[in-house]
Structure 1
Amino acid sequence: MALVRIDGDDLVVVLEGLDKLWAFKSSLTIPLANVRGATADPGIATDPKGIRAPGTHLPGVITAGTFHQDGDKIFWDVKDPSKALVVELANEQYIRLVLQVDDPRATVALIENALA
């Protein structure tokens, strides 16, 4: 699971527990200027993932790490699709972050309020 917070002008994502191992990352810091928006999207778990490199993908169990799709990089950290949050980015190494958070709607509100 990921913890998402706003720290000044940055969106900070901290991975918890073994997710650090599965995703090959412990945290991400994204300038808010590069965040285009966020949505709660439990259906994204059924979307094609692309090529995993590096990361972990056990269908129905966990999707974590960097996935390459159509020349773009997407970062995943999801075990429970009902708690999926999608953060759209611009001018970053990833075009999208797909994260599992405790409360997707509250996290969307947090991000959208920071962007306003």
Structure 2
Amino acid sequence: MAVLSVQGQDLVVDLVGLDKFWTLKSKLTIPLAHVRGATVDPGILDEPKGIRAPGTHLPGVITAGTFRQDGEKVFWAVHDAQKAVVVELTGDERFTRLVIEVDDPRAAVALVERATGR
């Protein structure tokens, strides 16, 4: 699970619990200027993930870490597809997208929309 917050001009993704271990990260900080938007997308787990580099993927259990596919680098931290939020980023970031599980997906999307003015 992840917790989203806005700190100054940054979107901060804090990973909690064992997700820090599975993703090999504890926090991601993304300038708001590099955030294109966010959507609730429970179907995203059915899409191909690509190659883990590094990461963990146990279908139906967890998808976590960095995955590469078709020239894109996507960060995943999801157990429950119903709580998945996709944050789209600009080409200025090391990731193309963040696919993260949050406690309240609609509130997370609203936070991103308010912070980016989109």
TM-score by length of structure 2 reads 0.97
- Uncovered stretches (5+) of structure 1, i.e. residues with no partner: none
How far off is 1:71 after superposition?
Answer: 1.3
- Equivalent residue for 1:26? 26
Per-residue CA distance 1:44-102 (angstroms, 9 max, x = gap): 01000000010100000000000001111000000000000000001100000000000
- Equivalent residue for 1:95? 96
Identity of aligned residues (%): 68
Alignment of 1:23-62 (within 5 A): 23-62=23-62
SS of aligned partner of 1:94: coil
How far off is 1:37 after superposition?
Answer: 0.2
Does residue 105 of structure 1 match 2:118?
A: no
Residues paired across the two proteins, number: 116
- RMSD over aligned CA atoms reads 0.4
How far off is 1:6 after superposition?
Answer: 0.4
Matched to 1:106, the amino acid is A
TM-score by length of structure 1 reads 0.99
* Stretches of 4+ aligned residues off by more than 4 angstroms: none
Alignment of 1:48-87 (within 5 A): 48-87=48-87
Matched to 2:88, the amino acid is E
- Uncovered stretches (5+) of structure 2, i.e. residues with no partner: none
SS of aligned partner of 1:25: coil
How far off is 1:35 after superposition?
Answer: 0.1
